[in-house]
Amino acid sequence: MGTLAPGAQGTENVMRSVNVAVVGATGAVGDEFLRLFELRKYPIKSLKLLASERSAGKKLKFAGKEYTVEKLTAESFKGVEHAFFSAGGSISKEFAPAAAKAGAIIIDNTSAFRYEKEIPLVVPEINPEDAFRYGERRIIANPNCTTIVALMPTFPLHRKFGLKRAVMSSYQAISGAGAQAMAELEQQLRDWAAGRPMTVKIAPKQIAFNVIPRIDVVTDNGYTKEEMKFLWEGQKIMHHDSLRATATCVRVPVLRSHSVSLNLEFEKPVTPEQAREVLKAAPGVVVQDDPKADVYPIPLERTMKNEVGVGRIRQDISVEGNRGLCLWAVGDQLMKGAALNAIQIGELLLSK
């Protein structure tokens, strides 16, 4: 585990080019795919942009060319080699088999397949070798956005000091709920400024000037599914079945980039200085840690950045024997939490 494939962090590779489809091309994540394909020079031979009937015929620009969005059907995948899905779990469940049958490898941004034993769940900086275990179903799952942001600094520390237990609290941007939710926050702010009543349609409560402690459905144990994902996915990605973890996930009125507070308890003692050294050497992580000078990662400054920022690194004084750390991490969830991670998986496949 842990060896990053050459080029997976954005260096240009000489790779064979592939026929690509994006399912959900008109959404918040779809938009990011198009921006990052161009920025990273993803070796695209042909590109198919798929969405629902609502958006069929819409024109989207990619690499200076106009593309027409097509309605997704089971016949959409003829000749497609890499199919990036980001249109919701039910769409992935319905159409991934058709894409696989047509010969595509599916890199799925939804939670549809993440918890199936034979489906790999991959963060290229953590478990790159799992990407090649897509098997007959030809599906690789991209993890939950908050889980990726939290695991990027957690995994290098786990490898060195042995993680026993993690407590994670999230501060999640509204774009995590999609393009319409992002537009809803902007509209609420415009309405407030104009003295008009605000409308709530997408988020469960008004998000402007508020925080909402419920993301995804509430499960039978009282946790939300978003919170359980941190445990389920953390164990699977890090191959760490005995990991104990708990989370509280909260939506905040931030447009983009998720923040997490982490309390990590290790097998071995670890000082903040040792942690900084480990994190400085970790791929995809940038240490921003001088709080007295106001140096720490924040959503506005991590937006549109590849790396997850980590700061506020300190000894957790509630854990005996210097075996605990507190961290604060921020990452652009539309990038490393979604499109960037998925593209890195594609690049990893093409690098072999």
Ligand X SMILES: NC(=O)c1ccc[n+]([C@@H]2O[C@H](COP(=O)([O-])OP(=O)(O)OC[C@H]3O[C@@H](n4cnc5c(N)ncnc54)[C@H](OP(=O)(O)O)[C@@H]3O)[C@@H](O)[C@H]2O)c1
Binding ligand X by CB under 6 A: which of 52, 169, 315, 322? 52
- Say whether residue 337 binds ligand X (CB under 6 A): yes
Contact 69, 56 (CB under 8 A): yes
Name the residue type at position 172: Q
Question: According to CB under 6 A, which one of 19, 30, 297, 311 is a site residue for ligand X?
Answer: 30
Q: Residue 28, interface with ligand X (CB under 6 A)?
A: yes
Tell me if 26 contacts ligand X by CB under 6 A: yes
Nearer to ligand X, 266 or 344 (CB): 344
How many beta carbons lie within 10 A of that of residue 168, not counting itself? 26
DSSP tag of 305: -
The question of whether 240 is a catalytic residue gets the answer no
Please select the residue that binds ligand X; options are 47, 149, 334, 350, rule is CB under 6 A.
Answer: 334
Residues 53, 281: Cα–Cα separation, whole Å: 47
* Contact with ligand X (CB under 6 A) among 19, 76, 110, 127: 110
Amino acid at 59: K
Residue 238 contacts residue 130 (beta carbons within 8 Å): no
How far apart (Å, rounded) are the C-alpha atoms in residues 181 and 164? 36
Active site residue 239: no
**Minimal distance, residue 127 CB to ligand X, in Å:** 18
Q: Of the two residues 127 and 142, which places its CB atom closer to ligand X in the complex?
A: 142
Contact (Cβ atoms closer than 8 angstroms) between residue 126 and residue 1: yes
**Which of 86, 127, 257, 288 touches ligand X by CB under 6 A?**
86
Return the SS3 of 246: strand
Q: How far is the CB of 217 from ligand X (least distance, A)?
A: 12
Which token pair is 318? 């509630």
- Least distance in angstroms from the C-beta of 92 to ligand X: 7
Nearest distance from residue 268's CB to ligand X, in Å?
33
E strand segments, 54-160? 59-62, 65-68, 70-71, 82-85, 105-108, 139-141
| Dihedral angle, C-alpha 196, 198, 199, 202, nearest 10 ° | 150
Residues 194-213 close enough to bind ligand X by CB under 6 A? none
Q: Give the per-residue contact string, 117-156, with ligand X (x = CB under 6 A; - = no).
A: ----------------------------x-----------
Residue 51 lies near ligand X (rule: CB under 6 A) = yes
Query: Three-state DSSP class for 340?
Result: helix
Q: Single out the catalytic residue among 82, 158, 258, 326.
A: 258
**Is 197 in contact with 191 (CB distance < 8 Å)?**
yes
Q: Which of 20, 91, 167, 168 binds ligand X (CB under 6 A)?
A: 91
Q: For residue 340, state whether it binds ligand X (rule: CB under 6 A).
A: no
Mapped onto helix, strand or coil, the DSSP state of residue 284 is coil
The one catalytic residue among 82, 145, 158, 249: 145
Closer to ligand X by Cβ: residue 191 or 216 = 216
Of 234, 324, 233, which Cα lies nearest the Cα of 274? 324
Which region, judged by CB under 6 A, interacts with ligand X, from 35-43, 88-96, 230-238, 321-329?
88-96
What's phi and psi for 243, nearest 5 deg? -60, 135
The smaller minimum CB distance to ligand X, of residues 141 and 287, is found at 141
Going by C-alpha positions, the residue among 277, 285, 246 that lies closest to residue 262 is: 246
By CB under 6 A, name the binding residues for ligand X: 24-30, 51-52, 54-55, 72, 86-89, 91, 109-110, 145, 175-176, 178-180, 333-334, 337-338
Which residues form the catalytic set? Answer: 145, 258
